[in-house]
């Protein structure tokens, strides 16, 4: 029988995703703003890889809607991106999990670039102006951030688990 | 049935089910986006759902605000005193200017009463402060810290000390989103204050530029010309400074000249903003009104015809002498009238006369706010013109 997601498993997931949401609207200077890593996606990828049954497509969709509301973007834009991202991670989860770190980071880059392509496609359909070239640097930053974020979240999860058991 | 579904779901929880669910969510997302884009149902849903995400803005906003507060607390009293003195000086200068303007305003009011036009509309201001959050990078929007709780309404114009900033697009409980004039989807009806030429300024997605892509090739536009809101379109009251022309491209093979302008408002760094309260739309003097006043004053037609001409023919420098450009006629004569009272009778007839000669002109004298707020730019103008002559 599949275990139901208990509270101590859900806690860290929700907290870290909330932090990611906040990070994605915190003000940055205009120059570095396009370089902001897609925090929500990165955190989502981590939990999708490391837990089972929590990050469902529906959860990703709701999270995306939340992000849409928060950033005031077209409702469904981030939701679409995150659902596709979650689908890909879930689908290739067994392989992704046992990749060496650098290879995993490259997969993350591919996922983020794919997401940006979807966003650009939507934006161009809508007739908004296309983003500058630095927009494509954000996935690279995301890839560079990934190993450190992975370590950080892994530690955080371990600490949370210990606290729950003691 | 529900239970049956669950069992089936469990059995098919392989790749196929995952893909099926993916398709479902993709479909929902696409439908949502299409509906949001077209403004069907979704905006209302959004307005409601915005309440849910508002706390996150507070979370982001609070520490930054606290930080700024502490920072200003620790600023040396020396620099505070200096700043205070600067501000006091500035206030004095502005006040002396304001006194002059106030008398002009009364004058103007009286002349308008003579003209039988409706009185000017008082425009109310409301302070607002920028909220430090970064929204969707594809559109130029900002958050302000006033919402439904302070009666902010969709469509209100937002300005800062220097010029027009944008308009309120979505209103939340304690926050509102403002679309900047530099947003690629924003178009602002403007007027070149020197010549009265009307056009539309489009955003380019760059906080330091606006584009005026459809000026007539022979239009009289120069570097340094001031753009003010024209008051057409009813969103922005007329006469507020918007931008300064930076370059004009009249290259061959184009239907129109394209000008680039630099917005005056501190779009990327301003924090303090003013919301203009929409004046309750009073019965505007309609085109019929403007036309109907004409037959009573036939002698006014001649000057009006004269005014209309130069605007189309791109005012020669020769027309630049004393009364500024004739095409600003709907403002300039009033200026003159203020200086010399007896002239009032001839000149006040002009705006209505202009109304008769072309629909375009009539539109300018249509919103009372337009001319009411327009006092300032022409004043600057005539000064400039004098300066050129000397």
Taking the Cβ of residue A12 and every Cβ of chain B, the question of whether any pair is shorter than 8 Å is answered with no
B241-255 confidence digits (pLDDT tens): 899 999 888 877 778
| Interface check A26 vs B, CB under 8 A | yes
Give the residue carrying structure tokens 């300018």: B364
Instruction: Enter the tokens of residue A81.
Output: 């991106």
Of the residues B10, B33, B61, B267, the best mutation for testing chain A's interface (the one with the most A CB atoms within 10 Å of its CB) is B33
ipTM of the complex in this document: 0.86
Q: How close A51 comes to chain B (CA, Å)? A: 17
Rounded Cα gap, residues B239 and B372, in angstroms: 8
Q: Is pLDDT of B13 > 50?
A: yes
Residue B128 pLDDT: 86
Residues 47-66 of A with CB under 8 A from B: 57-58, 61, 64-66
Cβ–Cβ gap B138/A71 under 8 Å: no
Of the candidate ranges A50-54, B187-191, B312-316, the one whose mean pLDDT is the lowest: B312-316
pLDDT 10s digits, B298-356? 443 334 333 333 333 333 333 334 433 444 334 434 344 334 444 334 433 344 433 33
Using the beta-carbon criterion (under 8 Å), do B46 and A129 form an inter-chain contact? no
User: How close, in Å, is residue B26 to chain A by CA atoms?
Assistant: 6
- Indicate yes or no: CB of B22 within 8 angstroms of CB of A84: yes
Residue B116 has what DSSP assignment? T
Cβ–Cβ contact A70 with B under 8 A: yes
Write a three-state SS string for A87-126: HHHHHCHHHHHCCCHHHHHHHHHHHHHHHHHHHHHHHHHH
Q: Assess B32–A contact: CB distance below 8 Å, yes or no.
A: yes
Q: Comparing C-alpha atoms, which of A148, A144, A141, A152 is closest to residue A37?
A: A141
Q: What is the pLDDT of residues B209-249, one digit of tens each?
A: 899 888 888 888 888 888 888 888 777 888 888 999 998 88
DSSP 3-state helix, strand, coil percentages of chain A (rounded to 5)? 75, 0, 25
Please give the distance of CA A44 from its chain centroid, rounded to a whole number: 4
A27 touching B (Cβ < 8 Å): yes
How far does Cα B379 stand from its chain's mean position?
20
**Smallest Cα distance from A165 to chain B, Å:** 30
Q: How far apart are the C-alpha atoms of B290 and B313, rounded to whole Å? A: 24
Residue B217: both structure tokens together: 């090739």
CA distance B22 to chain A (A): 7
Closest alpha carbon to B378 in B303, B308, B325: B325
In order of A131, A145, B144, the CA distances from A35 in angstroms are: 12, 12, 24
Residues in chain B within 8 Å Cβ distance of A75: 32-33, 36, 42, 45-46
Q: Do A71 and B135 make contact, defined as CB atoms within 8 angstroms? A: yes
**Chain A residues with CB-CB distance to B18 below 8 A:** 57, 87, 90-91
Tell me which H or E stretch contains B121: none
Q: Is the pLDDT of residue B364 over 60?
A: no
pLDDT of the residue at B135: 78
Cα B246 from Cα B211, distance rounded (Å): 10
pLDDT grade for A114, boundaries at 50, 70 and 90: very high
Chain B residues with CB-CB distance to A55 below 8 A: none
Distance CA(A48)–CA(B32), nearest Å, equals 25
Structure-block tokens of residue A138: 């954000």
Q: Say if residues B208 and B219 touch (Cβ distance below 8 Å).
A: no
> Quick check: A77 contacting B, CB < 8 Å?
yes
Q: What is the pLDDT of residues A72-108, one digit of tens each?
A: 888 899 999 999 999 999 999 889 998 988 899 999 9
Does A25 contact B135 at a Cβ distance shorter than 8 Å? yes
Closest-CA distance, B174 to chain A, in angstroms, reads: 14
The pTM of the full predicted model, rounded to 2 decimals, is: 0.66
- Is B49 touching A (CB cutoff 8 A)? yes
CA separation, residue B256 to residues B202, B204, B311 (Å)? 15, 18, 16
CB pairs A-B closer than 8 Å: 116
The whole-angstrom separation of Cα B384 and Cα B390 is 10
Say whether B136 and A80 touch across the interface (CB within 8 A). no
Phi (first) and psi of residue B242, to 5 degrees: -120, -55
Half-sphere exposure (Cβ direction) of B249: Cα atoms closer than 13 Å: 13
């Amino acid at each position: 029988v599949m275990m139901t997601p208990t509270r101590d498993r859900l806690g860290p997931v929700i907290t870290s995703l909330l932090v990611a949401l906040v990070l994605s609207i915190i003000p940055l200077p205009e120059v570095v703003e396009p370089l902001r890593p897609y925090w929500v996606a990165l955190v989502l990828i981590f939990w999708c890889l490391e837990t089972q049954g929590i990050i469902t497509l529906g959860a990703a969709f709701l999270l995306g809607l939340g992000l849409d509301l928060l950033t005031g973007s077209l409702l469904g834009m981030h939701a679409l991106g995150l659902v596709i991202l979650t689908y890909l991670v879930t689908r290739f989860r067994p392989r992704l999990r046992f990749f060496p770190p650098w290879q995993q980071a490259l997969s993350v880059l591919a996922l983020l670039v794919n997401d940006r392509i979807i966003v650009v496609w939507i934006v161009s359909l809508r007739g908004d102006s296309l983003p500058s070239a630095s927009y494509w640097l954000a996935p690279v930053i995301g890839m560079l951030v990934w190993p450190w974020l992975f370590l950080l979240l892994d530690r955080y999860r371990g600490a949370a688990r210990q606290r729950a058991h003691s | 049935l529900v239970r049956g579904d669950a069992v089936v779901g469990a059995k098919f929880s392989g790749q196929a089910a995952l893909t099926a669910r993916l398709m479902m969510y993709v479909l929902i997302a696409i439908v949502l986006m299409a509906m949001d884009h077209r403004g069907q149902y979704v905006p209302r849903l959004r307005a409601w759902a915005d309440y849910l995400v508002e706390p996150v803005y507070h979370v982001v906003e609070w520490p930054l605000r606290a930080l700024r507060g502490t920072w200003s607390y620790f600023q040396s009293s020396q620099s505070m005193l200096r700043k205070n003195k600067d501000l006091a000086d500035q206030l004095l200068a502005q006040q002396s200017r304001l006194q002059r303007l106030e008398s002009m305003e009364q004058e103007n009011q009286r002349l308008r009463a003579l003209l039988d036009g409706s009185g000017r509309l008082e425009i109310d201001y409301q302070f607002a402060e920028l909220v430090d959050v970064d929204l969707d990078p594809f559109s130029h929007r900002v958050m302000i810290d006033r919402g439904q709780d302070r009666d902010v309404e969709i469509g209100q114009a937002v300005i800062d000390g220097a010029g027009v900033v944008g308009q309120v697009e979505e209103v939340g409980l304690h926050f509102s989103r403002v679309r900047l004039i530099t947003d690629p989807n924003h178009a602002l009806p403007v007027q070149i204050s020197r010549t009265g030429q009307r056009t539309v300024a489009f955003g380019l997605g760059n906080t330091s530029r606006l584009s005026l892509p459809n000026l007539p090739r022979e239009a009289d536009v120069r570097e340094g010309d001031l753009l003010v809101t024209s008051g057409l379109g009813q969103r922005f009251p007329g006469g507020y400074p918007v931008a300064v022309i930076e370059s004009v491209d009249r290259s061959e093979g184009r239907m129109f000249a394209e000008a680039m302008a630099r917005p005056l408002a501190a779009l990327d760094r301003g924090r303090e903003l003013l919301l203009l309260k929409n004046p309750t739309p009073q019965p505007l003097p309609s085109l019929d009104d403007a036309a109907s006043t004409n037959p009573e004053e036939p002698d006014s037609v001649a000057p009006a015809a004269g005014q209309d001409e130069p605007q189309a023919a791109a005012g020669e420098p020769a027309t630049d002498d004393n009364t500024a450009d004739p095409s600003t006629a709907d403002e300039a004569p009033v200026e003159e009238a203020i200086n010399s009272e007896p002239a009032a009778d001839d000149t006040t007839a002009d705006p209505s006369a202009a109304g008769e000669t072309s629909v375009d002109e009539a539109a300018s004298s249509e919103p009372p706010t337009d001319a009411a707020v327009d006092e300032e730019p022409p004043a600057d103008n005539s000064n400039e013109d004098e300066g050129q002559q000397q």
